[in-house]
């Protein structure tokens, strides 16, 4: 049981090891892909037996949920998406998307789990709800700011626009997995263009 780790906090050796496992898992899945991989496969890839790996996680589903949680953590840190309003949210987010195209296995895992977690009984259910809410809140607030300055159209409210952006990103991942030649980032970029209100305004194509 993983109770020790959950309860004991920072001193528990388990926490560090658990984290190390997640990082290894992230690399392995990114590199070798995820095709409904079994715990055993992943265990071997990170250098443990199946039982050894499951020592740190209560179940397969919890394990994979934690991998995704870790991924978000890494992405957020890497792209400086920390403050409430990063210097260039748009560019930073496009960078995340471009990065995704380098780690197909993680995209597969994410897509698979986001469908499975649709079931309220799934351990990742809450995670995906909270993740979605967080993502869209973040975007909605950035969008609202730009609406106030006229940089983004206000014909549609910010919450709905945020929902659209979220949907496009998820939807494009599926299109890309199916046909890897598809350019996810370019399409999302086109969507951002679409959000700008008028043609020939401050919408030059110089920087962003």
In whole angstroms, what is the distance from residue 78 CA to residue 72 CA? 10
Residue 59 binds its own copies (CB under 8 A) = no
Q: Which string of x and - marks every residue 48-77 that binds DNA (by CB under 7 A)?
A: xxxxxxxxx--xxx----------------
Name the minimum Å distance from CB 2 to its own copies.
26
Residue 93, Cβ density class (10 Å: 0-12 exposed, 13-18 middle, ≥19 buried): buried
Q: Specify the stretch interacting with DNA by CB under 7 A; choose among 35-43, 95-103, 126-134, 139-147.
A: 35-43
- When the beta carbons of 2 and 135 are compared against DNA, the nearer one is 2
In whole angstroms, what is the distance from residue 204 CA to residue 135 CA? 27
Q: What distance lies between CA 55 and its chain's CA centroid?
A: 26
Name the minimum Å distance from CB 107 to DNA.
19
Residue 45 binds DNA (CB under 7 A) = no
Q: Which string of x and - marks every residue 149-188 that binds DNA (by CB under 7 A)?
A: ----------------------------------------
In Å, how far are 65, 111, 114, 115, 126 from 118, measured between CA atoms?
Answer: 13, 11, 7, 5, 9
In whole angstroms, what is the distance from residue 93 CA to residue 95 CA? 5
Q: Binding residue for its own copies (CB under 8 A) from 82, 155, 204, 205?
A: 155
Residue 99 binds DNA (CB under 7 A) = no
Please answer whether residues 52 and 43 qualify as being in contact, where contact means their C-beta atoms are separated by less than 8 angstroms. yes
In whole angstroms, what is the distance from residue 126 CA to residue 53 CA? 24
Residue 208 binds DNA (CB under 7 A) = no
Give the binding site for DNA (CB under 7 A).
4, 12-14, 17, 38-41, 47-56, 59-61
């Amino acid at each position: 049981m993983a109770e020790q780790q959950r309860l004991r906090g920072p001193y528990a050796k388990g926490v560090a090891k658990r984290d190390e496992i997640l990082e290894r898992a992230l690399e392995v899945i990114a590199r070798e892909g995820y095709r409904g991989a079994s715990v055993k496969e992943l265990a071997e890839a990170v250098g443990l037996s199946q039982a050894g790996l499951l020592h740190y996680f209560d179940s397969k589903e919890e394990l994979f949920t934690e991998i995704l949680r870790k991924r978000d953590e890494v992405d957020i840190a890497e792209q400086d998406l920390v403050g409430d309003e990063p210097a260039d949210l748009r560019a930073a987010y496009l960078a995340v998307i471009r990065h995704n195209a380098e780690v197909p296995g993680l995209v597969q895992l994410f897509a698979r789990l986001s469908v499975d977690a649709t079931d309220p009984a799934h351990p990742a259910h809450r995670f995906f709800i909270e993740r979605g809410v967080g993502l869209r809140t973040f975007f909605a607030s950035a969008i609202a700011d730009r609406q106030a300055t006229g940089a983004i159209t206000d014909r549609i409210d910010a919450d709905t626009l945020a929902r659209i952006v979220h949907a496009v990103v998820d939807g494009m991942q599926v299109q890309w997995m199916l046909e890897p030649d598809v350019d996810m980032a370019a399409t999302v970029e086109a969507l951002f263009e679409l959000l700008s209100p008028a043609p020939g305004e401050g919408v030059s194509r110089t920087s962003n």
